[in-house]
Amino acid sequence: MINQEEIINKFKMLLAEQTKMSNLIENKNIFYAKHIQPLYENIKSLSNEEKREFGKQVNQLKTTLEGLFHQKKNELEEEANKKENIVDYNLNVDTFNLSKGTPNLISIVTNDIISYFKKLNFEIIEDSEIVTVDENMNWLNINETHPVRDPKDTFYINKNLLLRTHCTAITAKAIHNQNKEIKVLSYGYVYRNDDDDMTHSHQFNQIDIVWIKKGLTINHLKSIIDELLKYIFNKEIKTRYRLSFFPFTEPSFEVDISCCNCHGKGCEVCKHSGWIEILGAGMLHKNVFDAAKITSFKTGIAAGLGIERIAMLKYGLKNVRDLYNNDFRLIEQIKKGGK
């Protein structure tokens, strides 16, 4: 007869040791091969009557073992499910303060000036930094001997393409063949082959404006610029217009403001003149109208502003590189005391 109890106890001991599903199934098969399979072998040698009784006992035993096996299998499955649902968070991560971002001073000044001209209904243009010789020079009355045409001073890509040396190139493109009243502002980086120092950079930011309309005069130019400077510096600003020369305007002016540092008395900042040069402006040159094929009227005002220069004056910076370093402390400090 079969000692069922002994086999069942051995199987229970085996099951108790199992922790993994794969091992459980493998060990069950080994156990069956060792303890159950031989019982079937024995049946062959028994009489028919004995076979019936023995078969019944083997089946009973197998049913019991299968029951125990499935119980263990369920237990292991439940444990595995529980583990899957537990997410292993590390709640001891070091924390640090993230401060909010802030625009760079170049962006602050640029956006400020753009908002002034938007109020005057100027169209704002941001165009390619690569321009043609026509756009950068030929259409702007810049003659063949002007230094800006020299590859030593300008970054050429090929004979006809270059990195724009001024945003006026974008303006020239915008007004070309536009035989109508037009108000445009272009802005962005311009490039000159200069050595970088305290006040110069080979790459800097400009804003260029042009307003073409019948009957515009120098008085219009002056009032727009005076108001603009008041807006930028957020206070009354004394200005001075000095006759100057730019190829694309006639007459041309350098515009100075009364020194913010000494209020006109004379100091190191203004080289003891009491005045600081801030921008260039003028009445658009007749040759520029001709090159643009504008025939209906030939009066227009133009101005070009260097953003770095304005930012340095407005915020009292001595080194142009302070504007590019993105030193958060400087920006935060200026924002607190700024406009």
Residue among 130 and 269 whose Cβ is closer to Zn ion:
269
Q: Which residues contact 20 (CB under 8 A, 6 or more apart)?
A: 76
Residue among 166 and 309 whose Cβ is closer to Zn ion:
309
What is the closest distance, in whole angstroms, from the C-beta atom of residue 320 to Zn ion in the complex?
19
What is the closest distance, in whole angstroms, from the C-beta atom of residue 274 to Zn ion in the complex?
6
Residue among 270 and 323 whose Cβ is closer to Zn ion:
270
Residue among 130 and 267 whose Cβ is closer to Zn ion:
267
Cα 338 from chain centroid?
A: 24
Tokens of 157: 């890509």
What is the closest distance, in whole angstroms, from the C-beta atom of residue 254 to Zn ion in the complex?
17
- Interface residues with Zn ion (CB under 5 A)? 259, 261-262, 267, 269-270
Distances (CA, A) of 125 to 114, 206, 224, 299, 326: 10, 12, 19, 21, 26
What is the closest distance, in whole angstroms, from the C-beta atom of residue 316 to Zn ion in the complex?
12
Chain residue at closest Cβ approach to Zn ion = 259
Q: Kindly report each contact of residues 298-301 with a partner whose C-beta sits within 8 Å and lies 24 or more positions away, as own/partner.
A: 299/212, 299/213, 299/214, 299/215, 299/216, 299/217, 300/210, 300/211, 300/212, 300/213, 300/216, 301/210, 301/211, 301/216, 301/220, 301/221, 301/224
Tokens of 170: 């974008």
What is the closest distance, in whole angstroms, from the C-beta atom of residue 277 to Zn ion in the complex?
12
Residue among 175 and 259 whose Cβ is closer to Zn ion:
259
